[in-house]
C-alpha cells in the first residue's frame, strides 16, 4: 500500500502540507509542532501524514500558526455557548 503524504481531500492537499498538523496513520493521533519528528509520539507507528484543520464555524482552513488567533476571533466569540 502506498504511503500517503496527506490525509485530506484533493482540493485541500496543499493546505494540509502547509498546516503544521500531523496525524499517525495507525493510531490516529494528531499533533503539531516540530515537523522533523518522523514517528508518532506514542510509538513507532511509521511516518505521519499531513492533515488540514477546518474550522466548523466558518469552514476556514486554519494552520497551526494561526489557531489561537482564529479561535479568539469575533466569529468564535459570537457562537460560543455560555457556561
Predicted confidence (pLDDT) at residue 79 exceeds the cutoff of 70: no
Residue with grid cell 504511503, as numbered in its chain: 3
Q: Helices in the chain by DSSP H: which ranges?
A: 13-19, 67-71, 74-79
Grid cell for residue 39: 514517528
User: Among candidates 70, 55, 52, 50, which has minimal Cα distance to 12?
Assistant: 52
Alpha carbon 28 to chain centroid, angstroms: 12
pLDDT at 27: 92
pLDDT at 59: 82
pLDDT at 1: 42
Q: Quick check: pTM over 0.95?
A: no
Predicted confidence (pLDDT) at residue 3 exceeds the cutoff of 50: yes
State the average pLDDT over residues 68-73. 85
Predicted confidence (pLDDT) at residue 54 exceeds the cutoff of 60: yes
**Pairwise CA distance, residues 65 & 3, whole Å:** 26
pLDDT at 2: 53
Domain boundaries, the chain: 10-79
Please, which residues bridge with residue 32 across strands?
Answer: 21
Amino acid at each position: 500500500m502506498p504511503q500517503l503524504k496527506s490525509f485530506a481531500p484533493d482540493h485541500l492537499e496543499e493546505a494540509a502540507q502547509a498546516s503544521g498538523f500531523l496525524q499517525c496513520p495507525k493510531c490516529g493521533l494528531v499533533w503539531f509542532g516540530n515537523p522533523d519528528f518522523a514517528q508518532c509520539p506514542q510509538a513507532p507507528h511509521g511516518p505521519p501524514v499531513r492533515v488540514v484543520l477546518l474550522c466548523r464555524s466558518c469552514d476556514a482552513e486554519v494552520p497551526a500558526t494561526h489557531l489561537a488567533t482564529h479561535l479568539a476571533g469575533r466569529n468564535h466569540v459570537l457562537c460560543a455557548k455560555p457556561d
